[in-house]
Structure 1
Amino acid sequence: MFLAKVIGSLVSTQKVDTLRGHKLLMVEPYRLDSTNRTDLVSAGRTFVAVDTLGVGQGDMVLITQGSSARLTPETKNLPIDTVVIGIVDRVVVEQNTVFDQQ
C-alpha cells in the first residue's frame, strides 16, 4: 500500500466494457521526507487509479497496485493496476503528526 494525493480526474469515453462506470483518478504517491521525518513529500510520479470510495481532488488516500488492485470485490477481474482502497485521516510518525485532513 502507498499514500497518495488525488490531483485530478481522467475521462475516457472509449474503453473496455468492464471499465465503464468506474471513476478514474490521477494520484500522486507521497513518502516520508527522509531528511526530517516530519513531512510528507511527493515521490515524483503519478498513476491512474480506479476510485471505489468516491474521493475528491486533494484527498490523501491509500492505494494499492499490481495484482492486489484486482482483489477488492469492486475491482475483481478488471484490467487495472492501481485502486484507491482508503481515505487517510491522519498520519503519525514517531509521535509527530505529519498529515491531518482537518
Structure 2
Amino acid sequence: MKVGKVMGKIWATRKLDELPNGALLEIDLIVDGKVSERVLAYDPLGAGTGEQVLITQGSVAKGWFESGDAVIDALVIGIVDE
C-alpha cells in the first residue's frame, strides 16, 4: 500500500469497454513527507480533491475485479481520516 493525496479527477469522454465505471484520479504519492511521483488511479470509493488516500498497484489492483483482467494499474483502497 502507498499513501497519496488526490490532486484532481481525469475525465475521459471515450474509454475502453474493459475499464470499469468509476472515477480516475490524479494522485501525488507521498514518501517521507514529500511527493515522490504522480499516478492515475481508479477510485470506487468517491475520494475528493485534497483527501489523503491509500492505493495499491499492479496485479493486486487488477485482482480486485471479478474478471481479474481489468485494465487498471492503481486502485484506491481507502480514504485516510487523519
Q: Normalised by the size of structure 1, how large is the TM-score?
A: 0.72
Cα pair 2:54 2:79 within 8 Å, conserved? yes
Flag the structure with larger Rg.
Answer: 1
Shift of 1:18: 2.2
Cα pair 1:9 1:24 within 8 Å, conserved? yes
Tell me the residue number matched to 2:18. 18
Which structure's relative contact order is higher, taking Cα pairs within 8 Å and 6+ residues apart? Answer: 2
Q: 3-state SS of the aligned residue for 1:25?
A: strand
Q: Normalised by the size of structure 2, how large is the TM-score?
A: 0.88
User: Using a 3 Å threshold, how does the CA distance of structure 1 residues 18 and 30 change in structure 2: closer, same or farther?
Assistant: same
Q: How well do the aligned residues superpose, as a CA RMSD in angstroms?
A: 1.7
Q: Distance in 2 between the 1:17 and 1:78 partners?
A: 10
Q: Number of residue pairs matched?
A: 82
Cα pair 1:69 1:75 within 8 Å, conserved? no
User: Using a 3 Å threshold, how does the CA distance of structure 1 residues 74 and 50 change in structure 2: closer, same or farther?
Assistant: farther
Tell me the residue number matched to 2:56. 64
Q: Report 1:1-102 matches (<5 A).
A: 1-19=1-19, 21-32=21-32, 40-43=33-36, 45-73=37-65, 76-90=68-82
C-alpha distance after superposition, 1:2-61 (max 9, x if no partner): 0010001101112111225221100010012xxxxxxx2211x21110001111000100
